[in-house]
Amino acid sequence: MNFARTMIDTVLSVRDLRTEFATDKGVVRAVNGVSFAMRRGERMAIVGESGSGKSAMAMSLIRLLVHPGKVVNGEVWLQGRDIMTMSESELNDVRGNEIGTVFQDPMSSLDPVMKVRDQMVPPIMRHLSLDRARAEAAAVAWLDKVGIPDAARRIDAFPFEMSGGMRQRVMIAMALSCQPKLIIADEPTTALDVTIQAQIVELLRTLTAETGTAMLFITHDLGLVSRFARTVAVMYAGKIVEIGPTRDVFGNPKHPYTQSLLSAIPRGADGGRSRLVQIPGFPPDMRQEILGCAFKDRCLGAEQRCGEAAPPLSARGPSHDAACWQPNGLDAGSLAQMRKTTDRAARPDVEALPPHDILETNNLSKHFVRGSMLPWRKPVVVRALNGVSLRVRRGETLGIVGESGCGKSTVARLLLELDAPTTGEIFIQGTAQMVFQDPSSSFNPKMRVQDIISEPLDINGRGSKADRAEKVRTLIRQVGLDPSYLERYPSQLSGGQRQRVAVARALALDPTVVVADEPTSALDVSVRAQIINLLCDLKDELGISFVFISHDLSTVRYISDWIAVMYLGEVVEYGPAEEVFRAPAHPYTRALLDAAPVLDPSAEDDRPVSIIKGELPSPLDIPRGCGFATRCPHVSELCRTEKPILVQRQPNRKEACHHVG
């Protein structure tokens, strides 16, 4: 154990923390002996996939776990006092005062029936012993500092009157308002859009630097870690398996889990298209006693002693520890094997393919009209989509990116004829099918996998009963599942398996186009890699075209041949994926790429901090000129009055901006 860091400026030191959840089906050992220390002003990230125990660990630190969760062992020292042995009232003086907390979902973390003022001012009065007037002044000052416009007035707003980004700013203001020594942020940006996420991360970075507050940042997003954290701890099955400076851990990972996780993420920069690493198997059942290393069943380097004793954290470099018997974790050969060696073929040459369109839309728009019960009120028009023209050729993937509210899901619904367009036309050669975002709600819970995959065939009366059964077996093998899964109900499948079934169902009618709306966003990193690999394989083998809709830029970049960037219901930039990502032309595309963190700590350090300001305008009230004018750094008078149209300036590339070229 490397305790070199346990020095005089230590803010927090955690020793052998263990947390259990006593459920009906047995005791879940969520945290299995976690120890680490944090210095003053340190920014540390805890990363892990769902079920790794990272959130339970964070909540244990300030005893915020609720029944049936319980800390069963461990010490948490905060400046000479052990939080675990504090009385209830001592603890209440620490919470909100010496330790501030920011939670994941800003939509649900503020009391909905209380004004911001009533949630924010009383804690300041109590912890800092201020009178009401001074506490209110302090609250307004903090709201101002976290970037809430017109803070003196907004303090009287109810949470529901604010956007998600604004609410998270309020949460941060509340967490910082008593100048704590430590902030615990549990996935603080997960529920937010990329540009807002970048703003919040930047805000946390500058504020903690200014105030010297240490920050513990819990996340599943490795890119964010490299942008934000100096130190990173990787958790697996309730333990820290690797910890150290972010540059070292990401640049030279030593634990097999860290190594495979880092190779399971599509990286934009590496140009070629090597298959993503797939981690076989499932995380261990945390209700069982784990003998030896928890990762051994999924590790290609596992040997006998891994099953006998769990490796302790041991030094691999300055302040860099890993918990593996092998000094360097997996060798290159094992990692290559996990990619299934077959590197992806080079992308089909865009120019060389015959210009054979499978899907085309012309000037597609969709307006939703919301009437009122009162007849004299003017009905409200939501302009979800305003004149979108797209083209997908045979065997190619079109990626559509944009933040929530940009209309990308509306496009999907129109393509599948789930909604009728207000204007415009859609031409599809053959049939289009869809893979939905949430694999748990896109299946009827009363149907078996067999009936789910067979449903499109049944509806359309394809073939005899025996033909259909045979087809279903072919399909399920095609998506990499054993036919024994056909007997199961969706609730008996894991998230990744469900998404495979969804793909199989989409393939049943031999579609020419598959529209996938955020098919991987509900999945963990390692599972996401499997689904991305699957989609790439299918595209190559079956020559299917894909429309891949996502907010995750690195995934879209990895999977797409063409890309359409959407903003406020319009396509603002269109072109070959690699070119657009390498040399974005539209200011919004640039802003998106700047905002999205990449998996390289040194690149993140070198990157100029230019973060787009402001938030998306309401689709009820779209600006008259360019939709992006309210946030664009290059805005001119022309942009405010005249809407730019999508213009082709170089071969294959189009953008809608007055200031390009």
Name which of residues 547 to 606 contact another protein (CB under 8 A): none
Q: Which range, of 6-14, 42-50, 324-332, 530-538, touches another protein by CB under 8 A?
A: 530-538
From the list 441, 636, 641, 652, which residue makes contact with another protein (rule: CB under 8 A)?
A: 441
Q: Are 47 and 258 in contact (CB under 8 A)?
A: no
Which 58-77 residues touch another protein, going by CB under 8 A? 62, 64, 66-68
Contact between 280 and another protein per CB under 8 A: yes
List binders of another protein among 385-414 (CB under 8 A): 413
3 binding another protein? (CB under 8 A):
no
Closer CB to another protein, residue 10 or residue 433? 433
Q: Is 541 exposed, middle or buried (0-12, 13-18, 19+ CB in 10 A)?
A: exposed
Question: Does 368 help bind another protein (rule: CB under 8 A)?
Answer: no
Q: How many CA atoms does the CB half-sphere of 202 hold within 13 Å? A: 22
> Scanning residues 19 to 58, which ones bind another protein (CB under 8 A)?
24
One of 109, 195, 219, 520 touching another protein (CB under 8 A): 109
- Nearest residue (CB) to another protein, 304 versus 342: 342
Does position 509 interact with another protein (CB under 8 A)? The reply is yes
Binding of another protein at residue 174 (CB under 8 A)? yes
Q: x/- binding map, residues 473-502, to another protein, per CB under 8 A?
A: -x--xxxxxx-xx--xx-xxxx--x-----
Cβ(227)–Cβ(189) below 8 Å: no
In angstroms, what is the minimal distance from the CB of 552 to another protein?
19
Q: Any contact of residue 213 with another protein (CB under 8 A)?
A: no
Query: Does the protein bind another protein through residue 521 (CB under 8 A)?
Result: no
Dihedral of the alpha carbons of 248, 249, 251, 255, in degrees to the nearest 10? 130
Backbone phi and psi for residue 390, each to the nearest 5 degrees, phi listed first: -130, 160
Cβ contacts of 474 within 8 Å, gap of 6 or more: none
289 near another protein (CB under 8 A): no
Q: Does 534 bind another protein (CB under 8 A)?
A: yes
Place of tokens 């049936």: 68
CB of 15 to another protein, least distance (A): 23
- The minimum distance between CB 602 and another protein, in angstroms, equals 33
88 binds another protein (CB under 8 A): yes
Instruction: State how far Cα 389 lies from the chain centre.
Output: 28
Nearer CB in complex with another protein: 68/212: 68
Residue-level length of the chain: 661
Nearer to another protein, 279 or 656 (CB): 279
Instruction: Between 514 and 563, name the residue whose CB sits nearer to another protein.
Output: 514
| Distance from C-alpha of 30 to C-alpha of 43, rounded to nearest angstrom | 24
* Nearest residue to 43 (alpha-carbon basis) of 217, 264, 227: 217
In whole angstroms, the minimum distance from the beta carbon of 316 to another protein comes to: 30
Radius of gyration of the chain (CA): 26
Are β-strands 513-517 and 81-82 bridged in parallel, bridged antiparallel, or unpaired? unpaired
| Residue 460 contacts another protein per CB under 8 A | yes
219 within 8 A of 191, measured Cβ to Cβ = no
CB of 222 to another protein, least distance (A): 22
Is residue 520 within the footprint of another protein (CB under 8 A)?
A: no
- CA-to-CA distance for 509 and 445, rounded, in angstroms? 22
Kindly state the smallest distance separating residue 641's Cβ from another protein, in Å.
Answer: 34
Residue of 258, 278, 545, 555 interacting with another protein (CB under 8 A) = 278
**Would you count residue 514 as binding another protein (CB under 8 A)?**
no
- Minimum gap (Å) between residue 455 Cβ and another protein: 6
CB of 140 to another protein, least distance (A): 18
Report residue 483 as tokens: 């036919």
Does residue 246 bind another protein (CB under 8 A)?
no
The half-sphere exposure of 333 on its side-chain side, counting CA atoms within 13 A, is 1
- Do 62 and 97 form a contact (C-beta atoms < 8 A)? no
Q: Please, which residue, 66 or 345, has the CB nearer to another protein? A: 66
Alpha carbons 160 and 150: distance in angstroms, whole number: 17
Q: Which is nearer to another protein, 443 or 567 (CB)?
A: 443
The encoded tokens of residue 610 equal 């230019």
Contact flag: residue 467 with another protein (CB under 8 A) = no
Q: Is 418 in the site for another protein (CB under 8 A)?
A: yes
| 451 Rama class: left (phi>0) / alpha (psi -120 to 50) / beta | alpha
Question: How many distinct helices (H) and strands (E) make up the chain?
Answer: 22, 23
List phi, psi (to 5°) of 386.
-130, 85
Segment 112-171, which members bind another protein (CB under 8 A)? 112-114, 119, 123, 126-127, 158, 160, 171
Could you say which of 10, 37, 56, 103 contacts another protein (CB under 8 A)?
Answer: 103
Asked if 340 is part of the footprint of another protein (rule: CB under 8 A), the reply reads yes
Assess 459 for contact with another protein (CB under 8 A): yes
* Beta carbon of residue 368, minimum distance to another protein (angstroms, whole number): 14
C-alpha to C-alpha distance for 599 and 581, rounded to whole angstroms: 15
CB of 36 to another protein, least distance (A): 21
Q: Is the omega angle on the peptide bond into residue 68 within 30 degrees of 0, that is, cis? A: yes
Per rule CB under 8 A, count of chain residues that contact another protein:
88
Alpha-carbon torsion, ordered 111, 116, 122, 124, to 10 deg: 120
Please report how close the Cβ of residue 127 comes to another protein at its closest, in angstroms: 7
Q: Residue 510, interface with another protein (CB under 8 A)?
A: no
Residues near 586 by Cβ (< 8 Å), separated by ≥ 6? 565, 572, 573, 628, 655, 656, 657, 660
Q: Which amino acid is at 104?
A: Q
Q: For residues 383 and 569, is the Cβ–Cβ distance under 8 A?
A: yes
CA distance 639 to 619: 18
